[in-house]
Amino acid sequence: MSTNRILAFLELLQARPGLTGPELAERLEVDVRSVRRYVRRLEDLGIPVEAERGRYGGYRLRPGYRLPPLMLTGDEAAAVVLGLLAGRRAGLTVGEGAAGSALAKIQRVLPDALRDRVGAVEEMVGLTARTAATTRPSGATLLTLADAARRRLRVRLAYRSFRGQDSERTVDPYGLVFHSGRWYLTGHDHRRGEVRTFRLDRIGRAETTEEEFPAPGEFDAVAHVMDSLAAVPYRYEVEVVLAMTMEEARRRIPPAVAALAPVDGGVRMTGRAERLDGMAQVLAGLGVPFTVVGPPELREEVRALARRLEQWADRAPEG
């Protein structure tokens, strides 16, 4: 059943109340049975449609009924609610409290029965993902940058670096990326003369100019952001050769953890880390032989983990 046909049917009921089934069918280019199905569909949505019998009878909305500004089916309402709940947990939403206020507004315009069911979803559904503990960028910033990137218009940014230094930047916005609870903008930074990555929550102001910039060609915004994040300096440079196939390594090791490359006898895994205990646990969790190329401290962390596991395995149950 076409949603567009349902909406067209509803518009006819509003504009021409009293049209008969054959008249509605003719205007919608469907049969009379389809008209009756449209009536039932609107009633399922909580919209009262009255059918008057007799020679001059026809279909109309119940007198005095005010059409809500938003109509959603049960599946559509569930999709919106789940999207808002998951987005709020993951940090995908923008603006402080925006997801909660949007959810409240949607619930206010839903029919009573559907509002109760949507409320049950909000109250009873649990999410296993950890809550993103990040500062959310403003919705205005996200919308401004997305529009400028699509129209290929240069922007001016007031930006604060991770060191707390404020600067004014002129940027050709190539794309927006959401990764690990944060929003990023990637584009050509005219101050540095190269493509850079900016965190949206550090942008204090974003203004669109009337200056157009040339299309960046086959530019992969996601790949550039991931490469930029991988290049951030960390305390340790890690290199390990894993005795596994490239296909298996890609399936089990996220790109955010390390870079992978095929070598004789396995896969070379390279990455950066501030602490090595977590990397030792990652390696142990893979369950395959590996060779630590560097740093030497990683070998010590692996040995320390092995000793702890051996001690824990030898612990006898109490009592």
Hey, where are the domains in the chain? 3-61, 74-124, 139-221, 236-313
What CA–CA distance (Å, rounded) separates 227 from 166? 24
What CA–CA distance (Å, rounded) separates 294 from 297? 8
Q: Residue 105: its pLDDT value, please?
A: 78
Strand partners, 189: 171, 194
What architecture does CATH give domain 3-61?
Orthogonal Bundle (1.10)
Q: Residue 70: its pLDDT value, please?
A: 63
Pick one of 3.40.50.720, 2.30.30.520, 3.50.30.30, 2.40.128.20 as the CATH number of 139-221: 2.30.30.520
In CATH, what class is 236-313? alpha beta
| Max CA separation in the chain (angstroms) | 92
Evaluate if pTM is beyond 0.85. no
Residue 266 backbone zone (phi > 0: left; psi -120 to 50: alpha; other: beta) = left
Cα dihedral 193→199→205→209 (10° resolution):
40
Q: Residue 291: its pLDDT value, please?
A: 95
pLDDT tens digits, the chain, 319 residues: what are they?
567 788 888 888 888 888 888 888 888 889 989 988 888 888 877 788 888 876 656 888 888 776 666 667 777 777 888 888 778 777 777 766 777 788 787 777 777 777 787 788 778 777 766 666 567 788 889 999 999 999 999 999 999 988 789 999 999 999 999 887 889 999 999 999 999 999 999 999 999 999 999 999 889 999 988 888 777 777 888 999 999 999 999 999 887 778 899 999 899 999 888 889 989 999 999 999 999 999 999 999 999 999 999 999 988 887 6
